[in-house]
Structure 1
Amino acid sequence: MQSIWTESSQRLNFKSLKGDVKTDVLIIGGGMAGILIAYFLEQAGVDYMLVEGKTIGDGITKNTTAKITSQHGLIYDKLIHDNGVEKAKQYLDANQLALKRYKEICENIDCDFEEKSAYTYSLSDRIKIEREIKAVYRLGLVAEFIEDLPLPFKTCGAIEFKNQAQFHPLKFINAIAKNLNIYENTFIKELGENAVITNAGKIIPQKIIVATHFPVINKHGMFFLKMYQHRSYVIALEDAQNIHGMYVDEAQEGMSFRNYKNLLFIGGGDHRTGEEGGNWKELRGFARKYYPNAIERYAWATQDCMTLDGIPYIGEYATNTPNLYVATGFNKWGMTSSMISAIILSDMIIGRDNPFEELFSPNRSMLKPQLLLNGVAAVVNLLKPKTKRCPHLGCALTWNKVEQTWDCPCHGSRFEKNGDLIDNPATGSLKK
């Protein structure tokens, strides 16, 4: 199933790499983060190249709901509690800066950019919403409590962030990528100490940025323990409702909503990759109940990397890799996180100080309960006596009967029924 973004945009075409090349900066991955990093490096006059194993925007980016917002659920009260006011404010400031940069770039391009309010609602806990509003006020942003929402069910209220935005992600990528130094259908086979080996030649870079959604290098960074992947689903309904904003449930298993033109997007059905969840069945049941006359026009699914503390990993890949960088762990908020990645990493490449570098550092302390849970899940699935195993680290795969794929419950790699690779961190298909 294809998203509306894929159906309603024309794809750019870039050449494949042929032969050996040298570059100052190699960006691996042509999703939103990689493209934005390339865009900023191009503006700064840095010698770079971006390689994408398939085509740009063809990974997770094409399946986003494309909300550009600083409101990431009820995160700020938690950030203050866990990290203190100063770091919570840095997180807010970074996302507000990302929103501002999108607005500036989108002024001159056609990508269906619209300013909208963003709302996080609760079905059962008004106090959570009130606590979040107080937290946001402490950080210097005005947010309002909204009693009644234009949703077809009763809530306990919501927190509103005004002047947020939504857009068409592939139209945006196509507009900014036209003149960038991009190579498509150039698959990375091996990252050596001095060279990167592709399916069509060798690249000798001075610095490497890994923007592949889930990092593909295992011997550094321990990302396979510091993250897990989560799937969620979307349906787009015609003749449903104009809700005049972007909405998300504060509960992880809840639903999200936004409009695009004459369509209403309903997102939800979430579950950890490799496990079972509500998927499209849950969303379609909701649509039948609340929008019985609506027509489903599109349905798609996406996958998100979830970090241990709710903050992305952006910066040096590991403490011992000074010329290797990463952008990952966007926790379902890939649009602002991609822009933050581009801001931080382009500054690091140029040698310019960035006030957010420490907050997002992949090498910050990760002694969190989820670290143990991720480790236990990996061990359990490694020991399962199954024949279908993930080539990433050997975990037993589970059959996803809804999407007809083989999914890894350890780290989220996914494969077609015939074994072809869909999602990383695996870098190759299943053995036939």
Structure 2
Amino acid sequence: MKKSVWTDSIKLPEFPKADKEMKTEVLIIGGGICGILCAYMLEQKGIDYILVEGSRIGYGITKNTTAKITSQHGLIYNKLIKSVGREKAQMYLSANEKALREYRLIAENIDCDFETKDAYVYSINDRKKIEDEVSAVNSLGFNAEFASETSLPFKTAGAVKFKNQAQFNPMKFLNGIVKGLNIYENTFITDISENWAKFDGGKILADKIIVATHFPFINKHGSYFIKMYQKRSYVIAFENADNVDGMYIDEAENGMSFRNYEDLLLIGGGGHRTGKQGGNWRAVKEFSEKYYPKAKEKFYWAAQDCMSLDGIPYIGRYSKTTPNLYVASGFNKWGMTSSMAAAEILADLVVGKSSEYEPLFNPSRNILKPQLFVNGFEAVTNLLTPTLKRCPHLGCALKWNKAEHTWDCPCHGSRFEKNGDLIDNPATGGVDIG
């Protein structure tokens, strides 16, 4: 069944459509888990806010997550120590551990299938990478362990083990926190400035605006169109497969990830840059046939993630020149803890408080990274590709996605149905397929 396991378990409440001019202290654009958590935090603080979502809350990127809540984001800490220094690497770990604690506190009062689980990053053939990461994490004051054995059905060279991480059902979690929040659905924002946002039928005036739309759609500030690209990844939920009793991810780019939910085993893999070719569900199926021959597919879906230049999200002021405009994006496949960290940081910034994590996540930090030139090359190549099917975002040539039967943009990740209807931003409207 081509749908997420999370949407099979619950139906979120519906909210009205905005239909008039309104005014608020803080406007949040985007009703995924990041935007909802921003609203939740502002509600707790007693701040006047409005959240608007272009379609239904939770039914964009959030419903397609694998919902791992962990501060273990691949083999990131050894890289961070080398690239931004020990202090900022410690800051990254602290922000994500704080996010995990906050989820744990909120989940105490919510039925969201919250489970404490150990998290693992494994390597098939590179023991040294694992040992280096364990050493790096321990140097930051966190007790990471080297795991020589795992519950996976194949041998590894070892794994980095983080104890007491967590997993949950994200849609049940949203259902538990949205009641009483000031939300408007089916309210698609078409244009914004620092103090107003337009939609079909009205305008919302706001002192501050948070853009939590997955990929920021405003091109004239912040240069997000060159600072990010998007990646597709594919998940199948299997019956009659083992309980791996933990959350696993391969350090290799083309590896598999694992977690259980109830009696299902969720296996993810086959990822690729949006608009490019990749293994998709075929790679996951081939893997399952080899290692779980008795497994039966029950659900399958795909996720899309915004990738930053340096592996660190963009959380804070949208740009240096927009003091009243804020953003949260570039979560690099780790949207659960990143969303909570973003909500806590932005809830402070919009009321004039500072955040200890602001220097690390500052969206206006140095962009001279190797990925910048890769992004630039992709943009130029696809802008010059001759075709009538072009993305309305910035004019890149669209590519046909055979696995999902969609038109995808390899520059910035906008996606469209076969008939041209918009699926994923940063494009703000459909495309004429002809």
Same topology, TM > 0.5: yes
Once the 2 structures are TM-superposed, how far is the Cα of residue 349 of structure 1 from its aligned partner?
A: 1.2
Once the 2 structures are TM-superposed, how far is the Cα of residue 84 of structure 1 from its aligned partner?
A: 0.8
Percentage identity across paired residues of the two chains: 65
Residue 228 of structure 2 corresponds to residue 227 of structure 1 = yes
Partner of 2:59: 58
Matches for 1:23-422 after TM superposition, within 5 Å: 23-192=24-193, 194-422=195-423
Once the 2 structures are TM-superposed, how far is the Cα of residue 350 of structure 1 from its aligned partner?
A: 1.8
The DSSP-based 3-state class of the residue aligned with 1:344 is helix
The DSSP-based 3-state class of the residue aligned with 1:117 is strand
Inter-partner Cα distance in structure 1 for 2:241 and 2:109: 31
Inter-partner Cα distance in structure 2 for 1:323 and 1:123: 47
Once the 2 structures are TM-superposed, how far is the Cα of residue 193 of structure 1 from its aligned partner?
A: 5.7
Once the 2 structures are TM-superposed, how far is the Cα of residue 364 of structure 1 from its aligned partner?
A: 0.6
Once the 2 structures are TM-superposed, how far is the Cα of residue 211 of structure 1 from its aligned partner?
A: 0.1
- How many pairs are equivalent? 432
Once the 2 structures are TM-superposed, how far is the Cα of residue 192 of structure 1 from its aligned partner?
A: 4.0
Q: Deviations over 1:187-219 (max 9, x none)?
A: 112224653110231111111100000001000
The DSSP-based 3-state class of the residue aligned with 1:350 is coil
Structure 2, unaligned stretches of length 5 or more?
Answer: none
Q: Deviations over 1:211-259 (max 9, x none)?
A: 0000010000000000010000000000100011000001121110000
Inter-partner Cα distance in structure 2 for 1:262 and 1:195: 47
The DSSP-based 3-state class of the residue aligned with 2:100 is helix
Q: Deviations over 1:149-185 (max 9, x none)?
A: 1111111010100000000000001110111000000
| 193 and 41 in structure 1: CA distance in 2 versus 1, 3 angstrom threshold | closer
Inter-partner Cα distance in structure 2 for 1:219 and 1:142: 44
Q: Which amino acid aligns with 2:278?
A: G
Inter-partner Cα distance in structure 2 for 1:146 and 1:409: 38
Inter-partner Cα distance in structure 2 for 1:174 and 1:333: 21
Once the 2 structures are TM-superposed, how far is the Cα of residue 403 of structure 1 from its aligned partner?
A: 0.3
The DSSP-based 3-state class of the residue aligned with 1:303 is strand
Inter-partner Cα distance in structure 1 for 2:167 and 2:201: 38
The DSSP-based 3-state class of the residue aligned with 1:119 is strand
Inter-partner Cα distance in structure 1 for 2:283 and 2:432: 34
Once the 2 structures are TM-superposed, how far is the Cα of residue 372 of structure 1 from its aligned partner?
A: 1.1
Inter-partner Cα distance in structure 2 for 1:54 and 1:136: 40
The DSSP-based 3-state class of the residue aligned with 1:293 is coil
The DSSP-based 3-state class of the residue aligned with 1:23 is strand
Once the 2 structures are TM-superposed, how far is the Cα of residue 431 of structure 1 from its aligned partner?
A: 2.4
Matched-pair contact (CA < 8 Å) for 2:420–2:432: yes
Once the 2 structures are TM-superposed, how far is the Cα of residue 351 of structure 1 from its aligned partner?
A: 1.8
Inter-partner Cα distance in structure 2 for 1:194 and 1:113: 38
Inter-partner Cα distance in structure 2 for 1:265 and 1:200: 42
The DSSP-based 3-state class of the residue aligned with 2:350 is helix
Inter-partner Cα distance in structure 1 for 2:194 and 2:247: 45
Inter-partner Cα distance in structure 2 for 1:233 and 1:194: 38
Moved over 6 A (4+): none
Q: Deviations over 1:370-399 (max 9, x none)?
A: 111101110110011001000000000000
Inter-partner Cα distance in structure 2 for 1:200 and 1:292: 54
Structure 1, unaligned stretches of length 5 or more?
Answer: none
Inter-partner Cα distance in structure 1 for 2:342 and 2:27: 15
